[in-house]
Amino acid sequence: MDTMAFNQSIQLTHMRENLIGSALARYFNSSIHFIEDNERRSEYDFSLYNPIKGWAFKFEAQDDYYTESMNGTLCIELFRYISQEEKKEAKLFYTKADKLVFILNRLKKLIIVDVKILKKLVADLESSGQLLINDPEDHEAWRDKHDTNPTACALVPIEEVLLADPKARVFDFDDLNLKPELYDQLRFRKENHD
């Protein structure tokens, strides 16, 4: 990805995070704080807090453009490949967020899940031999298609995630007054930069 396209991709990501964070802040009648420090941006995307009610949570957002049904799976980022042999921890491990927000773009839904519960679920599925992992074999084909380094993801059934976290929340875009057309306009599209 060339520098200009990469910068636009990052800018669009920040705008989507701003839109989601603001919608959640309105819904929960809370204040919002965005992380603007580049060194801390990898820790989480934004925090919501309500000093009157005495709560605060850090959130990490993740767009999903593939899930077509609530009977499907969530792709939870485990590793990003730097090269064929070298990988580094991805979202599930590096985030310092309390909650992960999955934005299911095809369903126009959000799922908010507790990170600790999600980590435990992934570990339990792995230890029982039931964890499915999407780990691309052809890294060059991945780079050609996605214009990013390959990512290995745990594929966890949405139903199991919701059962594991009794406080998980599912919202339709309409619940949060999010306009799907507006959110979709903020998606980076490689074909616009070829």
Domain count within the chain:
1
Burial of 132 (0-12, 13-18, 19+ CB in 10 A): exposed
And the tokens for 135? 């780990």
Surface-to-core class of residue 2, CB atoms within 10 Å of its CB (0-12 exposed, 13-18 middle, 19+ buried): exposed
Q: State whether the Cα torsion 70-73-79-81 is positive or negative.
A: negative
Q: What is the pLDDT along the chain (194 residues), one digit of tens a residue?
A: 566 666 666 777 788 888 999 999 999 999 999 888 877 877 899 999 999 999 999 999 999 988 999 999 999 989 888 777 788 888 888 899 999 999 999 999 999 999 999 999 999 999 999 999 988 787 777 677 766 777 889 999 999 999 999 999 999 999 999 887 777 776 655 554 44
Parent domain of 160: 3-193
175-193 as b/e: b if 16+ CB within 10 A: ebebeeeebeebebeeeee
